[in-house]
């Protein structure tokens, strides 16, 4: 054992360069660590606790109340029952259904006509945004089997989405309109629709 | 610098460390024995839960933290300070500057440990992991550390050889690190407590910085001093050591927040990333140690060289356990099991205590200028410690993994999961007994050595008193 006092630098440690692979490994790990952090950290949000990973994920699990809850429920029911023809974006589909986004029928002040269309169905020509449209299959009475609350939620949702801005429709509103509906045949286009009060 | 120019001999430097080191090691040896004995008392509770039921002082909740703190604050830190002081004096090539300070510091430190242990055993612990001692002991320990650091820095500042040794970086960082973390954690948790979630975060931060970072700085710093000495060749690669040093303290300080902790998700996420990055300094330290030692002609034969080699290997292994614990999938299994305590015990006793004991056996003969009273005990203690650690750490780690997997299975009742770990406890308690036996050998060596030295002093003093007066001193 060498216990002499001469601790000159060349004797206490060798001076080779640091191997490049360990630096490359470190940089790779820092990169992967960054990716992991990006996915799991919630980006320093003080409200995001494990096992949740981001503020968005957390928001999706939050119970909603008031109109927000109705809109969220309406979106769900809309996408199952209406979205296949009117489109999840409310833009309609050529040959199947007219657009709801920006439609004057949807944005109307009153909601009577809007309740009656799904309740009774619709055939013939309908004019939307100044364009007369005709759909060979028409619209079946898809809403007649829905509960008041579901139909109200759908209507509230379409009246508040895609740039539309009209008042919410409550389940009581729907119930009242349904009670007043007399006929049981599909509405015949613009012409008949306009006879229904707004 | 020419060695012949200064008249200070190696033995003079070593002799200057004698009293401070005896003060630091003497108390440390006593605390190690008591700490290990208390940890056996704590684990006996698992074998026979009503054994100490009528004695509040010996219940698990008090004895367990008291034992852990005695091993850490009683043994590890003062013994490490002793080794550190000797390395500073040797590297500076001068006797200790202000030698009175470390002696005073050692006594205040040991007093602090007595106060803290009584606080815990009497049921007044703060309840924070590794900070159970409370205010009184905190002030004493911090003052002692400052006094010690003044002497250590003065010795460092007066060094003859201006260039720094690799160990200098690690040990000086440790001298600055401890007062910072210890004062900050005590201030925010004990003196002027913060509220809510921050308490747990601060405590985890402190525990990790003390148990992982501080112990690594001192243990590896000492190993990087001793390994080249034993191997009789220079330390492999100065720059790789520099790289290891910086990556260790930069990544190491972020670890310690467990996965699934009830804190904002970014804290455990950052901790996990930092733990994964710890693999970099580990590779560097392993490479340095292996390249320095591998192929050296020195036989270790259970002597100090063996201690330091084993300790360095244990550092790598226990740190790998730490990294595994931070890995999300693995931590889901071993969280809240015996795996965590196994890792901590491995870090404290397997790595740190062994490295420091190796340093102690190497330097003590030189400091005292005589052989150890029982040189064979060194080798026996080495094997006792290794066997004890394998039993203690191995059984608890395996028990932890098994326990974790059973906990994930909803068909197994909680009671069955717990009672299934009993077999592991039989092994781990046996391991603790072996460790206690080993610590007796260490204590025997240092106490007999101290007693002989004091007896020698008395004898020479008595001789001087009774010596006939010189003719020149007699007035006519």
Contacts of A15 in chain B (CB under 8 A): 237-239
List, for residues A70-124, the tens digit of each pLDDT value.
888 888 888 888 888 888 888 888 888 888 888 888 888 888 888 888 888 888 8
Residue A4: predicted pLDDT? 42
Virtual CA dihedral for B425, B430, B435, B436, nearest 10 degrees?
100
User: Does the beta-carbon distance from A12 to B234 stay under 8 Å?
Assistant: yes
**What is the pLDDT at residue A2?**
39
CB B367 within 8 A of CB B14: yes
Minimum distance, in Å, between the CA of residue B418 and any CA atom of chain A:
26
Q: pLDDT value at position B51?
A: 87
Contact residues, chain A, for B279 at CB < 8 Å? 29
| Yes or no, beta carbons of A15 and B238 under 8 Å apart | yes
Structure tokens at B430: 């046996």
Q: Looking at residue B295, what is its pLDDT? A: 80
Closest Cβ–Cβ partner in B239, B240, B260 for A50: B260
pLDDT given at position A8:
43
Cβ within 8 Å, pair A50-B259: yes
For residue B3, the model assigns a pLDDT of 46
Distance CA B84, CA B79 (A): 9
Residue B91's domain comprises 8-163
Whether the per-residue pLDDT at A6 is higher than 50: the answer is no
Q: Nearest chain B residue to A20 by CA: give it.
A: B240
Give yes or no for a contact between B151 and B105, defined as CB atoms under 8 angstroms apart.
yes
With CA atoms as reference, the chain B residue closest to A16 would be B237
Residue of A nearest to B275 (CA): A33
Q: With an 8 Å Cβ cutoff, is A56 touching chain B?
A: no
Asked whether the beta carbons of residue B265 and residue A37 sit closer than 8 angstroms, the reply is no
Q: Which of A4, A36, A53 sits opposite B272 (nearest CB)?
A: A36
Reported as half-sphere exposure (CB side, CA atoms, 13 A), residue B131 has a value of: 29
Distance CA B159, CA A189 (A): 101
CB contact under 8 A, B237 and A13: yes
Query: For residue B404, what pLDDT is reported?
Result: 94
Query: Closest chain A residue to B261 measured between Cα atoms?
Result: A50
Distance CA(A120)–CA(B145), nearest Å, equals 87
pLDDT per residue over B32-67, tens digit each? 999 999 999 999 999 998 888 899 999 999 999 999
Smallest CA–CA distance from B241 into chain A, residue: A18
Supply the mean pLDDT for chain B. 93
The partner residues of B421 in beta bridges, in order of sequence, read none
**In the block, residue with structure tokens 């394998």:** B390
Question: Which among B166, B237, B265 is the nearest to A49, CB-wise?
Answer: B265
Q: Could A42 and B283 be called an inter-chain contact, meaning their C-beta atoms sit closer than 8 Å? A: no
Q: Give A183's pLDDT tier (boundaries 50, 70, 90).
A: low
Residue B93 distance to chain A (closest CA, Å)? 7
What pLDDT is recorded for position B6?
A: 53
Q: Indicate the range of A2-16, A141-155, A158-172, A174-188 predicted with least confidence.
A: A2-16
Q: Which residues of A touch B277 (CB under 8 A)?
A: 26, 29-30, 33
Contact B389, B349 (CB under 8 A): yes
CA distance A68 to chain B (A): 27
Pairing of strands A131-134, A187-188: unpaired
Residue A9 banded pLDDT, cuts 50, 70, 90: very low
**CA B310, CA B431: separation in Å to the nearest integer?**
17
- Asked whether residue B386 is assigned to any structural domain, the reply reads no
How many domains in chain B? 1
Q: Is residue A175 pLDDT above 90, yes or no?
A: no
Q: Residue A65 in contact with residue B290, Cβ under 8 Å?
A: no
Cβ separation B10–A29 shorter than 8 A: no
Would you state the pLDDT for residue B471? 76
Query: Which residues, 6+ apart, have CB-to-CB distance to B462 below 8 Å?
Result: none
Count CB neighbours of B397 within 10 A: 24
Question: Which residue in A has a C-alpha nearest to residue B366's C-alpha?
Answer: A3
Predicted pLDDT at B469: 78
Is A36 in the B-facing interface, judged by CB distances under 8 Å? yes
- Evaluated on CA atoms B408, B411, B414, B418, the torsion sign reads negative
Task: Write down the pTM of the prediction.
Answer: 0.82
Q: Is A31 on the interface with B (CB under 8 A)?
A: no
pLDDT level of residue A176 (50, 70, 90 thresholds): confident
Closest approach of B434 to chain A, Cα-based (Å): 31
- pLDDT of amino acid B472: 77
Among all residues of chain A, which has the CA nearest to that of B267?
A41
pLDDT above 70 for A11: no
Q: What residue of B is the nearest CA neighbor of A43?
A: B266
If you classify domain A66-193 with CATH, what class do you get?
Answer: mainly alpha
Q: Which of A16-30, A179-193, B165-179, B457-471 has the lowest mean pLDDT?
A: A179-193
Q: What are the extents of the domains in chain A?
A: 9-61, 66-193
For residue B258, what are its two tokens?
């467990």
CB contact under 8 A, B234 and A10: yes
B19 domain residue, yes or no: yes
Which of A13, A17, A41 to probe by mutation at the B interface, max B CB count within 10 Å? A13
Residue B426 lies in a domain: no
Low-confidence ranges of chain B (pLDDT < 50): 1-4
CB pairs under 8 A between A and B: 122
Binary contact (B280, A29; C-beta < 8 A): yes
């Amino acid at each position: 054992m060498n216990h002499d006092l001469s601790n000159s630098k060349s004797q206490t440690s060798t001076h080779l360069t640091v191997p490049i692979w360990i630096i490359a490994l470190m940089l790779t790990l820092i990169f992967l660590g960054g990716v992991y952090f990006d996915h799991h950290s919630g980006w320093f949000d003080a409200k995001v606790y494990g096992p949740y990973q981001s503020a968005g994920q957390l928001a999706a699990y939050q119970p909603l109340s008031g109109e927000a809850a109705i809109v969220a429920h309406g979106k769900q029911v809309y996408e199952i029952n209406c979205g296949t023809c009117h489109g999840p974006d409310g833009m309609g589909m050529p040959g199947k259904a007219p657009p709801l986004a920006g439609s004057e029928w949807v944005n109307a002040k009153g909601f009577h006509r809007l309740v009656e269309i799904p309740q009774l169905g619709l055939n013939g020509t309908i004019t939307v945004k100044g364009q007369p449209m005709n759909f060979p299959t028409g619209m079946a009475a898809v809403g007649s089997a829905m509960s008041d609350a579901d139909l109200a939620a759908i209507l509230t949702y379409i009246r508040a989405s895609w740039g539309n801005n009209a008042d919410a429709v409550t389940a009581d509103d729907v119930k009242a309109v349904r009670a007043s509906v007399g006929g049981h045949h599909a509405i015949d286009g613009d012409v008949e629709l306009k006879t229904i009060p707004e | 610098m020419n060695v012949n120019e200064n008249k200070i001999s190696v033995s003079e430097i070593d002799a200057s460390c004698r009293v401070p080191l005896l003060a630091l090691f003497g108390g440390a040896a006593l605390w190690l024995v008591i700490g290990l004995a208390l940890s056996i008392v704590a684990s006996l509770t698992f074998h026979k839960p009503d054994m100490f039921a009528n004695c509040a002082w010996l219940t698990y909740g008090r004895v367990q933290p008291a034992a852990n703190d005695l091993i850490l604050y009683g043994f590890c830190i003062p013994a490490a300070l002793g080794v550190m002081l000797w390395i500073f004096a040797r590297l500076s090539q001068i006797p200790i500057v202000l030698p009175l300070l470390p002696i005073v510091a050692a006594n205040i430190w040991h007093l602090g440990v007595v106060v803290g242990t009584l606080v815990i055993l009497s049921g007044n612990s703060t309840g924070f992991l590794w900070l159970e001692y409370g205010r009184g002991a905190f002030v004493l320990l911090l003052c002692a550390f400052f006094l010690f650091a003044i002497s250590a820095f003065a010795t460092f500042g007066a060094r003859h050889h201006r260039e720094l040794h690799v160990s200098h970086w690690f040990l000086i960082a440790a001298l600055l690190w401890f007062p910072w973390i210890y004062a900050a954690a005590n201030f925010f948790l004990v003196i002027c407590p913060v509220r809510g979630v921050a308490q747990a975060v601060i405590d985890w931060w402190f525990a990790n910085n003390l148990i992982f970072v501080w112990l690594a700085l001192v243990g590896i710093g000492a190993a990087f001093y001793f390994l080249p000495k034993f191997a009789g060749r220079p330390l492999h690669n100065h720059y790789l050591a520099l790289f290891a040093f910086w990556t260790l303290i930069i990544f190491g300080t972020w670890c310690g927040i467990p996965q699934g902790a009830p804190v904002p998700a970014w804290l455990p996420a950052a901790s996990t990333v930092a733990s994964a990055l710890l693999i970099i300094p580990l590779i560097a330290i392993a490479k340095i140690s292996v390249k320095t030692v591998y192929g050296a002609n020195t036989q270790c034969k259970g002597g100090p060289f063996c201690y330091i080699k084993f300790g360095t290997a244990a550092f790598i292994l226990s740190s790998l356990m730490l990294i595994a614990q931070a890995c999300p999938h693995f931590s889901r299994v071993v969280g809240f099991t015996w795996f965590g305590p196994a890792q901590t015990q491995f870090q404290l006793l397997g790595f740190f205590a062994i490295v420091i004991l190796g340093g102690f056996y190497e330097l003590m003969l030189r400091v005292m200028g005589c052989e150890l009273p029982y040189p064979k005990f060194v080798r026996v203690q080495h094997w006792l410690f290794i066997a004890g650690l394998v039993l203690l750490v191995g059984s608890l780690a395996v028990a932890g993994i098994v326990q974790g997997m059973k906990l994930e299975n909803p068909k197994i009742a909680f009671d069955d999961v717990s009672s299934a770990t009993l077999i592991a406890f039989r092994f781990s308690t046996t391991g603790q007994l072996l460790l206690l036996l080993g610590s007796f050998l260490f204590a025997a060596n240092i106490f007999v050595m101290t007693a002989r030295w004091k007896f020698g002093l008395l004898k020479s003093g008595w001789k001087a008193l009774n010596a006939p007066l010189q003719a020149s001193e007699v007035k006519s």
